[in-house]
Structure 1
Amino acid sequence: MTPKQREKIEADYTFNRIVELDLDPVRGNFDAAHLKEINRRIFQDLPGAGCDDVRPGEFRPPVPKGNDWMKQRGLASVDGAFFVAYSRMDKVALARLDKVLEDAKPIELRKLKTAEFTGRIAKIYVELDYIHPFDDGNSRTLRIFTRQLAKESGYELDWERFNRSDTGRDLLCIARDHCVNELAKPHIQHENTMRNILHTRDRVEGNLALPDLLRDAVRPSRAVAFEQMTEREAVKEHPELQEAYKTLHSAAACFESKMPGKPEAQDAGIDSVMNHIQNRLNAGETTDFSRCCAWEKQERQT
């Protein structure tokens, strides 16, 4: 089997399993066993398809003492080689994995506003990516894991937005690898590894780190529902949206009474209120929508 044939077989089989995971997620506690099961389900078909070296759902063996585990990466939109170093997957790394996963608790993450949640989910991802527990498929496994964690925490994490262009994919790789290399630096064993990592850091300096890059990819599920669903559907799924719609209806009645016979002005006023509510929902707020500067400004103009 040529590398190209192997790549096609892997892409075909794993694509179907990833779709299945979107429809039927792993039922777990967001612990190491949960991670393993996601990886197992993604790659379960490969050993029977001729890729006998694939070990679905198994952590990679530890790197021998004194050695580093480093990968070279090529980017589509930037010339040259880039390097990223990962953990040795030894006992220290396994203990770190368990420690990181202690923060992967939907019941706690649900309490966070959007900005804080984005920082927390990015930190979890970067830590897990540095540990890099599997021989292959870590990125696919971690995207599914963090997307499911976000969903159960009341958020939507749109990794797909970065797959729409080569530039988007490269920006994600740069942001992720930069954060991972910063975690890896204190544990690097060889000068050559350190030289490659520092050279990579110098080349990507000025790019966004992962928490900053994810700011536009993370939104509360109720904010998405308000934007995309009918009122009835949105309130059924997210009862806390009732106050948002109450504010919207009050604004509509207010504009109708103050601007009779001016439907375009009424629509403009309602749009301004909707934008205000949407912005507050995107930020993670669920109350006090009536304090709407855009609404008050529109009233003064009227």
Structure 2
Amino acid sequence: MARKNTFRTWDDYFIPGTSVLRNKFTEPGKPYGETDQDKLTALEEYHTRARLIDLWAHPIAGRFDYEHMKAVHAYIFQDVYEWAGQPRVGPVWPDRMTKSGPNVLDPSDPEPAVYGYYPGDETMIAAAEAEYQRLADHDLLRGLNQDEFVAELAESWGELNVIHSFREGNTRSQFVFFGQLAEQAGYQIDAAHFIMGGPLRDEFVFARFYSQATGNNERLSAVLGKAIAPFYRGPNGAD
């Protein structure tokens, strides 16, 4: 009988004795999945790229709420992690999930800064639900001119990024979710600008950490605005 993994504590995410996430690439001698981080990264990128291509062609229908975002994440990572689509748990309080990033308050400092995220509990879930409700209250950002749309999009994106609902894969899910939301509001996001090596990648990363450090989403608005344009539909309604 196959063993069912549960993810009730932070340690449950990891292959015992390692810092590698448990994954679906199991084989004899690897009951928790691929143990080599570089190989896991390559496998994850391969499988999620295929799922992302599917989603750009065939978006998941939804109401742009928490359930919609979870469905997007579940689709992208279904081949890689058992917990795809599930809100994360966090380390035991007062510890939090953290990531290293540029020191946005002192860019001259070459040492990375450490940024903390919401604890993975009901506080995180309530904060996420509030942000999705805010989107609904703003009619999913429809009927706005381009400057207004970009500013409101940055507010939602910045806040949901700080919440960071998933253990891994938040950014990829956000691009799909907000790309779809933008189209129904009459705009399009050129995601190619933000991929690794893209012209806006570093500025985007800096802007998101700046939002997290200061609570100010204006830098994120500025960088997103460089890749957002009205959504063009052809004469027969095709884009």
Aligned to 1:159: 191
- Does the CA contact (< 8 Å) of 1:86 and 1:181 recur in 2? no
Task: Find the aligned partners of 1:167 and 1:178 in 2 and give their Cα distance.
Answer: 18
Aligned to 1:22: 56
Task: Find the aligned partners of 1:39 and 1:26 in 2 and give their Cα distance.
Answer: 11
Matched letter for residue 70 of structure 1:
T
Please give the secondary structure, in 2, of the residue aligned with 1:102.
helix
Task: Find the aligned partners of 1:94 and 1:121 in 2 and give their Cα distance.
Answer: 20
Task: Find the aligned partners of 1:130 and 1:82 in 2 and give their Cα distance.
Answer: 15
2:99 equivalent to 1:71: yes
The CA RMSD measured in Å over matched residues stands at: 2.5
Q: List, as ranges, runs of 4+ consecutive aligned residues in structure 1 with deviation greater than 4 Å.
A: none
Please give the secondary structure, in 1, of the residue aligned with 2:188.
strand
Please give the secondary structure, in 2, of the residue aligned with 1:150.
helix
Aligned to 2:84: 56
Task: Find the aligned partners of 1:64 and 1:183 in 2 and give their Cα distance.
Answer: 25
Q: How many residues align structurally?
A: 197
Task: Find the aligned partners of 1:33 and 1:164 in 2 and give their Cα distance.
Answer: 28
Q: 1:30 to 1:166 in 2, by over 3 A?
A: closer
Task: Find the aligned partners of 1:58 and 1:93 in 2 and give their Cα distance.
Answer: 13
Q: 1:137 to 1:164 in 2, by over 3 A?
A: closer
Deviation at 1:62, TM superposition (A): 4.0
Please give the secondary structure, in 2, of the residue aligned with 1:103.
helix
Cα deviation, 1:25-44, whole Å, max 9, x if unaligned, reads: 11111111111111111111
Matched letter for residue 112 of structure 2:
A
Deviation at 1:107, TM superposition (A): 4.4
* Equivalent residue in structure 1 for 2:180, among 148, 167, 173: 148
- Does the CA contact (< 8 Å) of 1:157 and 1:218 recur in 2? yes
Cα deviation, 1:212-232, whole Å, max 9, x if unaligned, reads: 11122111214xx5xxxxxxx
2:10 equivalent to 1:10: no
Please give the secondary structure, in 1, of the residue aligned with 2:143.
coil
Task: Find the aligned partners of 1:18 and 1:82 in 2 and give their Cα distance.
Answer: 30
Deviation at 1:167, TM superposition (A): 5.8
Aligned to 1:110: 142
Aligned to 1:91: 122
Q: What does residue range 1-302 of structure 1 map to in structure 2 within 5 Å? A: 1-47=35-81, 54-73=82-101, 80-105=111-136, 107-163=139-195, 165=197, 168-183=200-215, 209-222=219-232, 225=233, 233-234=234-235, 236-237=236-237
Matched letter for residue 147 of structure 1:
G
Matched letter for residue 87 of structure 1:
Y
Task: Find the aligned partners of 1:108 and 1:60 in 2 and give their Cα distance.
Answer: 25
Cα deviation, 1:221-256, whole Å, max 9, x if unaligned, reads: 14xx5xxxxxxx34x439xxxxxxxxxxxxxxxxxx
Task: Find the aligned partners of 1:36 and 1:141 in 2 and give their Cα distance.
Answer: 9
- Does the CA contact (< 8 Å) of 2:187 and 2:231 recur in 1? yes
Q: 1:175 to 1:74 in 2, by over 3 A?
A: closer
Q: Percent identity?
A: 25
Q: State the TM-score, normalized to the length of structure 2.
A: 0.74
Which moves more between the two structures, 65-74 or 21-30?
65-74
Which moves more between the two structures, 213-222 or 25-34?
213-222
Q: 1:166 to 1:30 in 2, by over 3 A?
A: closer
Deviation at 1:13, TM superposition (A): 0.5
Please give the secondary structure, in 2, of the residue aligned with 1:68.
coil
Unaligned segments of structure 1, at least 5 residues: 48-53, 185-207, 226-232, 239-302
Please give the secondary structure, in 1, of the residue aligned with 2:135.
coil
